[in-house]
Amino acid sequence: MPGYFLNRQDEAHAVCAEVGASNLKVQMDFYHCQIVEGDLAMKLRQYIAGVGHIQIAGVPGRHEPDTGEINYPYLFGLMDELGYRGWVGCEYRPKGGTSAGLNWLREWLRNPAVSAHP
């Protein structure tokens, strides 16, 4: 976004490294990262140690994460594989209101096979 101090994962992680504080982490916004950089799985593998929070939304359109070009089941499995234990926040514009916009999560919780990773 124009006017933001940081726009890329490498910039944010470089600042954290420069500061050197163990309690300073990066919010990895998968929506923003996909738009600006792409290659989400490699970015997650590369930077997981410095990630303190992950934010999700569908690309394009910033709608529910079960729509668009990002394979969230794969990324959720990768987060598990890499040992990520932090929060995953949702920042998207639901197409049909808040309750309807959470249907993707209901399916995820109802069907453990959906959340299983290879």
pTM score, whole prediction: 0.85
What pLDDT, on the 0 to 100 scale, is given for residue 112?
54
What pLDDT, on the 0 to 100 scale, is given for residue 118?
41
- What residues are paired with 115 via a beta bridge? none
Strands laid side by side in the 26-29 sheet: 26-29, 51-56, 87-90
Task: Quote the CA–CA distance of 98 and 100 in Å, as a whole number.
Answer: 6
**pLDDT tens digits along 59-109:** 999 999 999 999 999 999 999 999 999 999 999 999 888 888 888 887 767
> CB neighbours (10 Å) of residue 92?
19
